[in-house]
A and B are shown apart, each in its own frame.
Chain A
Amino acid sequence: MSTSSRFSRRDFLQGSLAVLTLAVTAKGLVTAAWAVDDAAQKYGADSMPGGTVDDPLVFVSIAEDGTVSIVAHRAEMGTGVRTSLPMVVADEMEARWERVTVVQAEANEERYGNQNVDGSRSVRHFLMPMRRVGAAARQMLEGAAAARWSVPVSEVKAAQHEVLHVPSGRRLGYGELAADAAKQPVPQADALKLKAREDFRYIGKDQVRLVDLEAIGKGQAIYGMDMRLPGMVYAVVARPPVVGGKLRRFDASKTLAVPGVLTVVELPAMTGAPAFQPLGGVAVVARNTWAARQGRTALQIEWDDGPNANYDSSVYRQTLENAVRKAGKVVRNQGDTGQAWNAAPEGDRLAAEYYVPHLAHASMEPPVATVQIKAGMAEVWTSIQNPVAARDAVAARLKLKPENVKVNVLLLGGGFGRKSKPDFVDEAAVVAQAMPEGTPVKLVWTREDDIQHDYLHTVSVERLEAVIDSQGQVSSWLHRSAAPTIGSLFNEGAMGGQIFETAMSAINMPYRIPNVRVETAEVPAHARIGWFRSVANIPHAFAAQCFIAELAHRAGKDHRQFAHELIGPARQIDPSTMADTWNYSESPERYPYDTGRLRGVIDAACEGAGWGRKLPAGRGLGLAFCYSFLSYTAAVVEVSVDDKGAVRVVSVDMAIDCGPQIKPERIRAQLEGGAIMGLSLALSSQITFTKGRVIQSNFHDYEVLRHNVSPRVIRTHLVNDDHSLPPGGVGEPPVPPVAPALCNAIFAATGKRVRSLPVRTVA
């Protein structure tokens, strides 16, 4: 754990500790003894490095001309947080949005609170702190105005960038009050007056445009890839083709003869668990990216492939299939599934296995970082989900104090979990260190690098076994999962699903079934396994949601009706009663599993799609639903399958209940994009290995959904905009229900079950 503690998500550590230290309390509830140094369990943002900060003096400044600058402390990767969180501040402080400037924070969690943009946490963790920032700023402006006029503060009211003295009608603009307001005491938490919901001007409404929207359309928005500095050089890296491989020897003489190539730099080999280490290899430094690429092609390298040299996807699939056909480690158990299965007549048993391959994130902007080292300081410009991880990696690499590393956060051209790891920034630091002091180095990953050296989504076989009687009553449910774990990224040789994996739609399922058992198989990882948008929910929900459709069919019942019966009446379930002691690191009291909300999204998606309507031959509707990142989602997909087995997606209905809806238009965007990413992995994407090497290399063989095969109709349904509920995630939850809904639709259209992704054609 010593190597991981410096780098890993606190979440991750807590999750892995919880597995080791489950304890039964006097009340009989299974609880986790979390981090040893914490007497009390911390939840949500409090459990994250840096926690939250709600000091208005940190986030808001007002110029004399009235321009309000609001800090966006989270990186923008396409979900809209760079707009939505400052918008929340602006709403609470009664700032006019057209007079707001958004300022991107550099990496500094000590100052701003947690900045790690993954886990669908930005609004979940920072809605209320940002509301408090805005309310405090508003009250300080009111206090300054009241003092200026020598009137009680109860007589003044801030509205739309000015403070009004109600009895006299006198007004002062925010610019006029700025200097005095900054000297006002920051209100204590219990003195804050948050707006009533009906007074919101921006929250829950859609008139605020994304801050970067126009610049993006003009090609003026600056991503990590667009960083330029005087004297900058460009680097690409030849990495070991097998994870854990090492450089045996190399000859750069032809490389150095390529016009524009300046030098080559050897990178240190990876040792132990991969964590966020560079993979090693040789960097080629040149005066432009093209020359660096040409130089890399000319390198002559001999690799020692190391222990993963035999990783082969077809062989490994057999390993996974063998693993789920025998008992694994039990991670949830109630009743006795073995007894129920053995006692059931053959005709009442149903078993099925489901396969989801490795996936690459393939954000449109490949990883890229620029590093300059000068006078004992390092400055970084990059597009990264976790800027502080980048800062700390560079500080460790260069043996600098973290405060002597400045990380500037540029726009991300997509992230999807890949860019929560700072390995590429570390690589740039290694190269910059080898160059003359002060030389800015931009280290660029090509698409081939991105696809062949990703932190891949796991690969999995899931086996489901159920007992269902002639009345359609399910009495037993066994779910066995076999997949290399993300835990192996930090603990060499780690095997078996961790709590933060199994509690993504495997153990935490609320169906009313007396006998339930969930097991995880211990299988080794031969690649770098990472977080991919919605993580383990993808394979778990794919399997479980297809299986429920199979059970509904066996029962002769309508899928929607069957799902409602399986879920049962609306009720709130303590996740720990489902052996889920993780609950996305949120409090089980604040975030219970609410089956009523799950039922609500199922109904919204079904009604949106016209569930139950008669369709012509070769057409079908399929349903799936999921609880992930504290939000409830459902998808209904309509497909058309022709006589050659080609699948066309006609429409998708996506529903979400994420609690309060801060920027509904962006929630809809995430639902649309999640539908398309879900269809990508369902229909076309997979990463496979032979001889330890990724076979795919670019978008011709790692296929993602294109415009011409994308559904023309995606309807989005936002359910239950309820500010009395704590916020759920939005970025990740749309993905998991899409693939199973598609496969269930294919069955409705053709009578054929698809249990292996990607689908490509229906045989």
Chain B
Amino acid sequence: MIRLQINGQTKDLDAPDEIPLLWALRDELGMTGTKFGCGMALCGACTVQVDGTAIRSCVTPISAVAGKAISTIEGMEADPVGQVVQQAWVENNVAQCGYCQAGQIMTAVSLLKNTPMPSEEQIDQAMGGNICRCGTYPRIRSAIQQAAGQLAQRGQQ
């Protein structure tokens, strides 16, 4: 039995230590917002945050995150930065098929928490691990820049 802290809630899980967090979330806990894309930390669809840092849940065994604060896309509505980013995603009509967007948002939120006003290069660097096959990159960039601006404005108030 492993105890996980996910979006502020405690979840007890009867699963082997080595099962990746992705499959524990999706198959065992029914939290399907976090997506399977590659299984090798190559595409970023499975991105969640652990203690605020974006990680790839498809290669992270649950034993490595027991006791740590795990945030998933389902928790972003309650996150002050997450809310702003989600809204920017809507206002920029970012999604096409949308499958990768949860992972994109999780990486973007982590970026903005660590780098509130990212440069173009910093956006490239942070987002380079998240593939979008539909090709929404220009809008992702716009949405991140809009969210950064709004968060900065909010900070000044």
Contact = CB atoms under 8 A, between A and B. Distances in A.
Interface stretch (A112-120, A134-142, A629-637, A669-677): A669-677
Contacts of A665: 93
Given A217-B101, A222-B32, A364 B132 contact: yes
A740 to B, nearest CB: 18
Interface residues of A toward B: which range? 35 or more
A289 interface: yes
Interface in B66-80: 72-74, 76-77
Given A447-B39, A672-B136, A219 B19 contact: no
B43 A699 contact: yes
A512 B95 CA distance: 42
B99 A223 contact: yes
B113 interface: no
Given A209-B90, A288-B19, A413 B135 contact: no
Contacts of A293: 39
B97 A363 contact: yes
A289 B73 CA distance: 21
A676 B93 contact: no
A218 B133 contact: no
A222 B157 CA distance: 38
Given A413-B98, A673-B134, A218 B38 contact: no
Given A219-B34, A411-B97, A700 B135 contact: no
A45 B137 CA distance: 34
Contact of A364 (B26, B93, B131, B138): B131
Given A228-B30, A290-B20, A221 B98 contact: yes
A217 B96 contact: no
Interface in A655-706: 665, 669-670, 672-677, 680, 698-700, 704-706
Contact of B138 (A226, A228, A709, A712): A712
A257 interface: no
Contact of B95 (A210, A226, A707, A708): A210
B102 A219 contact: yes
A416 B124 CA distance: 26
A482 interface: no
A711 B76 CA distance: 29
Contacts of A669: 93, 96, 136, 139
Given A217-B86, A288-B19, A78 B134 contact: yes
Nearest to B100: A364
B110 interface: no
B102 A234 contact: no
Scoring A80, A412, A708 by chain B CB atoms within 10 A of each residue's CB, the highest score goes to A708
A259 B32 CA distance: 23
A77 interface: yes
A216 B139 CA distance: 15
A228 B124 contact: no
Interface in A441-497: 444, 446-448
A698 B138 contact: no
A705 B127 CA distance: 12
Nearest to A206: B93
B130 A218 contact: no
Contacts of B15: 288
Interface of A: 76-80, 209-210, 212-214, 216-223, 225-226, 228, 234, 259-260, 287-291, 293, 362-366, 411-416, 444, 446-448, 665, 669-670, 672-677, 680, 698-700, 704-714
Given A222-B32, A228-B30, A411-B99, 10 more contacts: A213-B98, A216-B101, A217-B90, A225-B35, A289-B36, A364-B100, A365-B99, A669-B93, A672-B139, A710-B137
Q: Which 6 A-B pairs have the closest CB atoms?
A: A219-B33, A413-B99, A676-B135, A78-B97, A219-B73, A673-B135
17 contacts: A209-B90, A212-B95, A218-B33, A219-B74, A219-B76, A223-B99, A288-B15, A288-B27, A364-B100, A364-B131, A365-B37, A412-B97, A413-B99, A414-B133, A444-B36, A706-B128, A706-B129
